[in-house]
């Protein structure tokens, strides 16, 4: 059973997961990711994954059969286990709980070689809708406080399978970075009585040097204090705390259009770089809070400069976000 | 001139440094690091570096001549610039200051192929003494609040030169991670009236399952909530807030002995892995504080799992620290 352990000095929780050691990628003895025929995420290999939790099946084919355009399955090498109680306890000076949670894989396409940037807006919209459905389902489990949606694309970015997929992890705690944002947003709200994310959007539209693209419902920008070259955040223009409660009229169409645009720009300007994205949302059950605003962060993995950033929280970014924005806007796709 | 910019939501400062883009490693178009003859850090190539700031010259040879065993020089591609005023200002919603600071390279050996793990305790002690001398010198500049000492070993860990070296960055701000530790230590001190690091040392000696090695003055342990496989912290056993004020009797001998031991174990157990280390110390001028305790963190770069950790502050570690400790202790060097 994996464990959640808390750093006693800075209140950071870590998953200590022995199961993960059995994954394909570990300690440099890398098994190359499986090729198309042997890939557990490919169409026709449904028996190589655990039973599906959700799928898009345009011809209403039965679960776990071959005709699908998107599937969500439990991770075969989960960081957390779905069964059991948290059993929170102190161990001397330290704090721990059982590593209870869910870890799911969103298989974004049945085709082995396809990437998100080669998909249609509709396909990507289906990916977001899958994130929503799974989040709403996991939210019902009262042991969980947060669902983290993220994607690792490319082996440099941490992907151990080539087949295009993203992941959801349901957690009994709120990740530290999200908590920090919530606390920062709350401090600003108490001072200004406004959402800091809404204020950032207004300021960026006014300045107009870091806005990469916008449409009716979403805006993409290079953050003023970008940690990484070509880092981009996508935010809903209207105030919304929860990713999963995004308004049904748009239904993630506009963020799909913008994400596709950005990934195609990355392909062109940065030569199809590895990247990570993650969705930050308010944790379950906090009501219609005014101080937090869900958004997506996208980080191309371009530099190797991140050597010590983990240990210091200090980032050095060689590309000013204004320059990154200009590059991206000037390049045609 | 590089800039320091603050993330408005979570008070994180980032160096936006255009100069760094000119370094050898950038955006995947990697120039291989220079070979022995052409390496700017090699003996005989002193004219390829800026004028030295400190050196160990056993035969009292003149500065910038060839007979040395260790040199400290300004970084030719500095993340921050030594000249100028901070000029702190607001820009709309945002905060910035000039990227004023120092960025120095500690060339640990004149020999191109030598690594820290192949050096003597005395040689490594000279490296620590160089960190101390440079820190004390930089502390005199009232614009600086912190000197960050770190090492990137291996290209995966962010090193752009093969020749064994470490770095110092003097900053006008205290890095976020260190601040978080100080705040965590202070909260604990207010509650318990004891240093949390001293308590951790006592607990670890008692438990004796995560202590990798200790000698008279230092102890090395796998932290209870290790973020990474085989992460190790080295702490002085007596309470000391400041790295640079470490007691003169030991004079970094014992930490050198332990660091060498750990690096040799890493070489054996983990097949000479890339790694980062960094020294966390109390910021300049806070007096004899009881709630912070300097230490060194060492992180071998073994997994590619860190894809989204930057964006979430959430770590998944596949190797329990107790197992890592056992592996390291059982392997003979």
- Residue A164's contacts (CB-CB under 8 Å, 6 or more residues apart) are A107, A108, A109, A114, A115, A116, A153
Per the annotation, the verdict on A165 as an active-site residue is yes
pLDDT band at B285 (very low <50, low <70, confident <90, very high): confident
Phi/psi of residue B199, each to 5°? -65, -40
Inspect the interface and report whether the beta carbons of A177 and B10 lie closer than 8 Å: yes
Residue whose C-alpha is closest to residue B259's, from B185, B153, B154, B139: B153
For the record, the structure tokens of B154 come out as 């291996």
Q: How many CB atoms lie within 10 A of CB B38?
A: 11
CA angle A62-A64-A67, nearest 5°? Answer: 65
pLDDT given at position B200: 98
pLDDT given at position B20: 54
A139-171 pLDDT, tens per residue?
999 999 999 999 999 988 888 899 999 999 999
- On whether any CB of chain B is under 8 Å from the CB of A191, the answer is no
Domain(s) labelled CATH 3.30.428.10 in chain A stretch across 3-174, 177-330
Dihedral of the alpha carbons of A189, A192, A197, A199, in degrees to the nearest 10? 170
Inspect the interface and report whether the beta carbons of B313 and A175 lie closer than 8 Å: yes
Q: List the single residue in A with minimal CA-CA distance to B176.
A: A313
pLDDT given at position A22: 52
Inspect the interface and report whether the beta carbons of B203 and A92 lie closer than 8 Å: yes
Answer whether A295's CB lies under 8 Å from A233's CB: yes
B45, B111, B113, B114, B165 from B66: Cα distances, Å: 8, 12, 17, 17, 17
pLDDT given at position B318: 87
Q: Identify from A6, A7, A9 which residue to disrupt to test chain B contact, counting B C-beta atoms within 10 A and taking the largest count.
A: A9
Render each residue's pLDDT in chain A as its tens digit; 333 residues.
899 999 999 989 999 986 655 544 345 555 677 887 799 999 999 999 999 999 999 999 999 999 999 999 999 988 899 999 999 999 999 999 999 999 999 999 999 999 999 999 999 999 999 999 999 999 999 999 999 999 999 988 888 899 999 999 999 999 989 999 999 999 999 999 999 999 999 999 999 999 999 999 999 999 999 999 999 999 999 999 999 999 989 999 999 999 999 999 999 999 999 999 999 999 988 899 999 999 999 999 887 655 567 667 788 898 999 999 999 999 998
CATH number of the structural domain B3-174: 3.30.428.10
Return the CATH superfamily for domain A177-330: HIT-like (3.30.428.10)
Q: Identify from B318, B322, B323, B326 which residue to disrupt to test chain A contact, counting A C-beta atoms within 10 A and taking the largest count.
A: B318
B40-95 pLDDT, tens per residue?
999 999 999 999 999 999 999 999 999 999 999 999 988 899 999 999 999 999 99
B165-200 pLDDT, tens per residue?
999 999 999 998 999 999 999 999 999 999 999 999
pLDDT given at position A34: 82
User: Is this complex's ipTM strictly greater than 0.95?
Assistant: no
Q: Look at residue A105 and give its three-state secondary structure.
A: strand
pLDDT band at B235 (very low <50, low <70, confident <90, very high): very high
Of B14, B181, B280, the CB nearest to A317: B14
Does the pLDDT of residue B103 top 50, yes or no? yes
Residue B207: its chain A contacts at CB < 8 A?
92
DSSP string, A51-92: PPSEEE-TT-PPTTSS--SEEEEE-SS-SSBSSS----EEET
């Amino acid at each position: 059973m994996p464990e959640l352990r808390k750093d006693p000095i800075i209140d950071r929780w870590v998953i200590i997961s022995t199961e993960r050691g059995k994954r394909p990628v570990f300690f440099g003895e890398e098994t190359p990711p499986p090729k198309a025929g042997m890939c557990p995420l490919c169409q026709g290999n449904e028996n190589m994954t655990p039973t599906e939790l959700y799928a898009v099946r345009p011809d209403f084919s039965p679960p776990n059969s071959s005709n699908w355009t998107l599937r969500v399955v439990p991770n075969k090498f989960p960081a957390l286990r779905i069964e059991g109680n948290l059993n929170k306890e102190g161990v001397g000076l330290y704090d721990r709980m059982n590593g209870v949670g869910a870890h799911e894989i969103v298989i974004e396409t049945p085709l082995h070689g396809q990437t998100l940037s080669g998909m249609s807006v509709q396909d990507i919209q289906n990916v977001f809708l899958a994130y929503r459905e799974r989040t709403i389902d996991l939210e019902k489990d009262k042991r969980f406080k947060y669902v983290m949606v993220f994607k690792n694309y490319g082996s440099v970015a941490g992907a151990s399978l080539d087949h295009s997929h993203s992941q959801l992890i349901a957690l009994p705690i709120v990740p530290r970075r999200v908590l920090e944002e919530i606390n920062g947003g709350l401090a600003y709200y108490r001072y200004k009585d406004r959402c800091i994310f809404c204020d950032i959007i207004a300021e960026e539209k006014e300045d107009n040097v870091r806005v990469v693209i916008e449409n009716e419902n979403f805006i993409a920008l290079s953050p003023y204090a970008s940690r990484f070259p070509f880092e981009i955040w996508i935010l809903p223009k209207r105030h919304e705390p929860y990713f999963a409660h995004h308004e049904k009229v748009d239904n993630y169409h506009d963020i799909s259009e913008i994400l596709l645009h950005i990934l195609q720009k990355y392909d062109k300007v940065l030569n199809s770089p590895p990247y990570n994205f993650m969705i930050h949302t308010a944790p379950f059950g906090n009501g219609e809070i005014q101080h937090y605003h869900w958004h997506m962060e996208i980080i191309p993995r371009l530099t190797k400069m991140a050597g010590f950033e983990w240990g210091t929280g200090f980032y050095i970014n060689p590309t000013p976000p204004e320059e990154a924005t200009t590059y991206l806007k000037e390049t045609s796709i």
